Amino acid sequence: MKRGNLRLGIDLDGVVADFNSGWIERYNRDFGADLAVEQIVEWDAPTRLTHFSGMREFWNWSRTCGEGRSLFRHLHPYADALESLHRLRRRGHKIVILTTKPNFAVHDTFAWLADNEVPTTEVHILDDKTCVDCDVYLDDADHNLAALSTAHPDATICRFVRPWNSPASGLVDVHGWTAFLDLFD
Ligand SMILES: [Mg+2]
């Protein structure tokens, strides 16, 4: 790939922010459970692993489970994620954040980006990520990856390999942040 000036469309949850350890930590605390992140091997895992009757109940709890704010306010960043974004930024690439969030988490998302000093000046909180043109996309959700590769055949669509996503033709599989950085060497 060329060395600078690329627009990198970067997802947050499951890629930069550790959504799963965040909800599991708080779920265990609030309900005396003993779940472990390793148990998460599918999309919408809370429906199978928790006592909630469905994702609607889960999202309802998540509105305030983050110490009075939403779950998204205090998520831990994944190891190497922030440093990798800074490196890409220093190499001249533009970090474009593409993230889907419930409405109640919009301000917590901006606060989280600021707290963690994510090197971006362009943030899109949206459902359909295909609306935003980028040269490279990095995501962990099968439905986003499929939509992006259909809508942007000339872009490089990277699957951040996780237990809850699957290989598909046209995707570049990335096993961690070091591997993602290697794409730009
Ligand atoms: Mg994600």
Question: Does residue 1 lie within any of the structural domains?
Answer: no
Supply the pLDDT for residue 1.
66
pLDDT beyond 80 at 39 = yes
Question: Does residue 2 lie within any of the structural domains?
Answer: no
Type and span of the H or E element at 160: strand 156-160
Mean pLDDT of 42-66: 95
Q: Could you read off the pLDDT of 74-111 as tens digits, one per residue?
A: 999 999 999 999 999 999 999 999 999 999 999 999 99
Are 173 and 98 in a shared domain? yes
pLDDT beyond 70 at 3 = no
Last residue of a domain, one of 45, 73, 101: 73
What's the pLDDT band for 4 if we cut at 50, 70, 90? confident
Are 81 and 161 in a shared domain? yes
70 secondary structure, DSSP code = -
Are 114 and 152 in a shared domain? yes
Average pLDDT of the chain is 96
- Ligand 1 center to residue 78 CA distance, Å? 12
Are 66 and 115 in a shared domain? no
- Among 125, 59, 55, smallest CA distance to 97 is for 125
Query: What's the CA gap between 5 and 165, in Å, rounded?
Result: 29
Are 47 and 103 in a shared domain? no
Are 13 and 67 in a shared domain? no
- Ligand 1 center to residue 160 CA distance, Å? 9
Are 86 and 12 in a shared domain? yes
Give the number of other Cβ atoms within 10 Å of residue 84's Cβ. Answer: 18
Domain tally, the chain: 2
Quote the percentage of the chain above a pLDDT of 90: 95
Quote the percentage of the chain above a pLDDT of 70: 98
- Ligand 1 center to residue 76 CA distance, Å? 14
Question: What are the φ/ψ torsions at residue 56 (nearest 5 degrees)?
Answer: -60, -45
Supply the pLDDT for residue 185.
85
- Ligand 1 center to residue 150 CA distance, Å? 18
One-letter amino acid of 60: N
pLDDT beyond 90 at 2 = no
Query: What's the CA gap between 74 and 69, in Å, rounded?
Result: 9
